[in-house]
Structure 1
Amino acid sequence: MTATGRIIATRDRLAKASLLVLLGATGCTVGPKYVRPQIQPPPAFRAVDNAQTSNDTKDSLGDQQWSDIFREPELQDVIRAALANNFDLRIAAERVLEARAQVQITRSQAFPQITVGGTGLGANLGNSLNNIVESPLADGSLSLSTSWTPDFWGLYRRQTEAAREQMMAQVWAQRAVRVSLVQQVATTYIQLRALDRQLEITRRTVEARRNSADLTRRLEEAGDAPLSDVRQAEQLLYTATTQIPEIEQQIQQNENAMRLLLAQEPGVVLHTAPHALSPPPEKLPTGVPSELLERRPDIQQAEAKLRAANAQVGVAKAQFFPQVSISASGGVGGDTLSSLFNPSARTIYGIGSLTQPLFEGGRLRGQLTLSQRQKDEMVANYLKTIYTAFRDVSNALIAARKQRDAREQQELLVAAAEDATRLARARYASGATSYLEVLTTDSNLFSAQLNLTTIQQIEALTLVNLYGALGGGWR
């Protein structure tokens, strides 16, 4: 091999080695690698009186579809309509698309930027109309330029990673909205059915008290009862009649709330399902607590935010390293259209620059400290979200058992109050007691019946709350 050949071969090897070094450096990414915070979930959820739920993972309530949990056709219809039209769900979907576009914007920084342009000045016109215009162009150019900042330290890759994790946080936020929406619709529907039952109880009470007031007036007119008994009977009657417009107001306002969830104007909503306030099953499978880390969308959202914060630490660290910028431009020019693309008129030049921060007044160090503190904040937020999920499930399990006990005792109270009222009315009709006893027992009965409906409502909602706490409804 000649000397010239050896020089050429050496130059080629150096060029290849330089290219490998460049590619290797471009593949370097500074910053910490994400590691999920260590947490030891309890073996089972705490239930009532410190009892532990079964750790059987089969048929967990959170893995079932909402249509398998809420079986009333009316309720299924409104949930289905809400999932199709709800404003909050649509807003959450738009935020996902916005975050996806932001990923595209951020990722574009890693690619070369190419631009093309041209100029044209003046015109070369003849002195008379008889002259032929050879070219209207007096001066013109056409240029192509490019610029690129190689991502040696992974600055753009970390920024893209952070943007992508923020997008995933929005995806999980959308699913969290879906879980919350199913809960809101089911809760509002159960509240409507409880108000319907309270209105029914109140109307029956009004009818009974109106009959009692009429009887007392007849007794007073016959001289068998004092006027005070009439006034006490009227007091009972008007106490019940006052409740009717208040309950009707709550019903209509809850209907408006439901219509908003359906993205509809205020109006009437059907709520006639007879078993909406039925108690939930005694045995509610929950699975093991560790499943919540994968099933609950708010936990996944918190971890996505933590991943984004971890990537931002890498962004802050990459700012300490030198940045290389490469730009090149080429073009052609001339004073006629024919000479505009003449190869002899071309111009080509390139520029490379290297910048290394030396003194920023603590800005870079402050950015790094800030990103590290924000990551620590996201770690705490992630752990809090997990433990909040454990609390939500435990609270729902405790409520399911305690509300069952409360409802059973309230049913006994209602039965006793009904019997006491019956006996008091019979004693009053026979003249064995004053109307004050009737007033007292009747008031206690009315209050007990309304409280029973409230407890039945709360007990029915324990199933809704447990289902939401387990992260059900979004799959």
Structure 2
Amino acid sequence: MRTKRIVSGLAISCMLVLAAACSLPPSLVHRSENKTVPGNFSDSLKDTTNTATIKWKEFFTDPNLTSLIDMALANNQEYNIIMQEINISQNEIRARKGEYLPFVNVGAAAGVDKVGRYTRSGAVEETDDIAPGRRFPDPLTDLMLGVNASWEVDIWKKLRNSKKAAVHRYLSSIEGRNFMVTNLIAEIATSYYELMALDNQLEILKRNIEIQQNALEIVKLEKQAAKVTELAVRRFEAEVLKNQSRLFYISQQIVETENRINFLVGRFPQRVERNSQGFVDLVPASIHAGIPSQLLRNRPDIRQAEQDLAASKLDVKSARANFYPNLRITAGIGYNAFNSQFLIRTPESLIYSAAGELIAPLINRNAIKAYYYSATSRQIQNVYNYERTILNAHIEVINQLSNINNLQNSYDLKTKQVEALVQSIDISTRLFKSARADYMEVLLTQRDALESRFELVETKMQQMNAVVNVYRALGGGWN
């Protein structure tokens, strides 16, 4: 009868477990990612040669700039923070791997127990003998030494999928590091070219002030000769003062740009070494955009989004496996005695156990349902994020390629504008001396020439930055 009851109980338990496993929530709709990209960036760009494959030390040839980048990759705090994130992700893999391996613990225990004489346990100990003529010790000590093991059998690959998801997140953290490196290099390069442009604008402004001071002296002499009025003198004097004030504004910009670079390279404020002479004569590096499909393997942010998506897919599988029965096996072996001299006697003090548990959720499964639904929603989020990252990368490349072409055309025209206005300064000054032009023509010509030179330097800076940005947009800089 007892055996029949045990069998009946086990049968009922198995039926409940199977019923719980069979009553799974409906599978949610999963959205697959779309990796389709256009065949080329434009009809004129169909070459597969890609500038992104060039290492940054070969792409940037200025030794001062490459020295700054090297320093940033060693000292930048944000970069080092991300490196620790990689270590954390790597440790997560170890933790997940350990979850589907058996857990083995070794332990020892000691205790003492004093029961009352007129209790059930006390009465039994009083009437029973351990051996002829030997009674239970009072109080009764309890000593134990043993090894315990437990193992959750990963039938549904829940634990292994969790481990694989951790691997993908580790790879994602590496791609995040690469993307950060790409942006860091681009930011240092653009700030470096901005600093060189400011140096040139400062030098142009100083030369222009000298020209205006000479013009001011001429106007003063013309006033003494009663050829012009005091108004002309004051207008020229005001123009000189305005540009002298502008010197301090540019100097402040230089300080802030230098310190932006110093922050990126992880050092306290100091002068940034550079050679700004000949900045306007720099020739931007030629760019080969390749084809859009190359972005999928060159852009670290796309690869990072891809790894996050792969991890979220495995999370959905792990979450769904929570509805299935879990099989856990436990076992233990050791020695147990009330006296140390009997502790390691075999088989008298030997103890062991073995058990298997098959458990499945039956009632109130809202928590694991919510976990499953959330995992599915995160997977769909990552699909959209992956597609958005691809779209953003493609648009960035298109914008920067267009920017390079337009800036080159603009630079050519501004160069001609500067040449014309520089000649106009000499012409207007000669005409003013011969009383064939008034002072306002000289003043406006000098002002226009200064602004055109500033704009020429600004355009050259934008050209260099556009090259840096398209190199970054193509996925270059991290290797």
What is the TM-score when the length of structure 2 is the normalising length?
A: 0.84
* Residues 168-221 of structure 1: CA deviation (Å, up to 9, x unaligned): 110100111111111111111100100011001100011111111122223223
Matched, 1:153 2:145: no
CA deviation string 1:128-171 (max 9, x = no partner): xxxxxxxxx95422121111111111111111111111111101
Query: What's the counterpart of residue 448 of structure 2?
Result: 444
Selected match of 1:62 from 20, 38, 52: 52
Rounded to whole Å, the distance in 2 between the matches of 1:277 and 1:460 is 10
2:303 and 2:142 map into 1 onto residues whose CA distance is: 61
| CA displacement 1:356-406 (0-9 Å, x = unmatched) | 112335333332222222111111111111111111111111111000001
- 1:259-270 superposed matches below 5 A: 259-270=262-273
Q: Which residue of 1 aligns with 2:104?
A: 114
Q: Is residue 348 from structure 1 mapped to residue 352 from structure 2 by the alignment?
A: yes
Question: How many residue pairs were aligned?
Answer: 425
**Hey, what's the Cα distance between the residues in 1 that align with 2:277 and 2:473?**
26
How far apart are residue 279 of structure 1 and its match? 5.2
Deviations 1:100-129 (A, max 9, x none): 00111122111111111112347xxxxxxx
Find the aligned partners of 2:328 and 2:56 in 1 and give their Cα distance: 55
CA distance in 1, matches of 2:287, 2:162: 44
Alpha-carbon distance between aligned partners in 2 of 1:204 and 1:210, rounded to the nearest angstrom:
10
Indicate whether 1:402 and 2:406 are aligned.
yes
1:401-459 per-position Cα deviation (integer Å, ceiling 9, x unaligned): 00000111111221222222222222222222221112211111111111111011001
CA contact (8 A) 2:32 2:383 kept: no
Mapping of residues 123-272 of structure 1, within 5 Å: 139-272=142-275
How many angstroms apart in 2 are the aligned matches of 1:176 and 1:474?
7
Q: In the alignment, is residue 98 of structure 1 matched against residue 101 of structure 2?
A: no
Question: Contact 1:212 / 1:233 at 8 angstroms: preserved in 2?
Answer: yes
Structure 2 counterpart SS, 1:149? strand
Report the Cα distance in structure 2 between the residues aligned to 1:366 and 1:333, rounded to whole angstroms.
45
User: Mapping of 1:79-94 within 5 angstroms?
Assistant: 79-94=69-84
Supply the AA of the counterpart residue of 1:254: T
Q: Equivalents in 2 of 1:311, 1:239: separation in Å?
A: 65
Give the % identical residues: 26
Distance 1:434 1:322 in 2: 97
Secondary structure at the aligned position of 1:93 is classed as: helix
C-alpha distance in 2 between matches for 1:302 and 1:413: 47
Deviation at residue 297 of structure 1 after TM alignment: 0.6
One-letter amino acid of the counterpart of residue 452, structure 2: A
What secondary structure sits across from 2:153 in the alignment?
coil
The separation in 2 between residues aligned to 1:367 and 1:336, in whole angstroms, is: 51
What amino acid is aligned across from residue 211 of structure 1 in structure 2? Answer: N
- Could you tell me whether the CA contact under 8 Å between 1:276 and 1:460 is conserved in 2? no
Distance 1:282 1:194, change over 3 A: closer
CA distance in 2, matches of 1:105, 1:96: 14
TM-score by length of 1: 0.85
Q: In the alignment, what sits opposite 2:119?
A: none
Inter-partner Cα distance in structure 1 for 2:110 and 2:66: 68
> In structure 1, what is the Cα distance between the partners aligned to 2:69 and 2:166?
33
| 1:380 correspondence with 2:404 | no
**What is aligned with 2:364?**
360
AA partner of residue 266 (structure 1) = P
Flag the 1:143–1:67 CA change in 2: closer, same or farther, 3 A.
same
> What amino acid maps onto 2:176 in structure 1?
A
- Residue number in structure 1 paired with 2:288: 285
Q: Which runs of 5+ in 2 are unaligned?
A: 1-26, 113-139
Could you list the runs of 5+ residues in structure 1 that have no partner in the other structure? 1-30, 123-136
Root-mean-square deviation (Å): 2.2
Q: Which amino acid aligns with 1:56?
A: D
Q: Is the 8 A contact 2:31 2:383 kept in 1?
A: no
Secondary structure at the residue paired with 1:417?
Answer: helix
Q: Counterpart amino acid of 1:82?
A: A
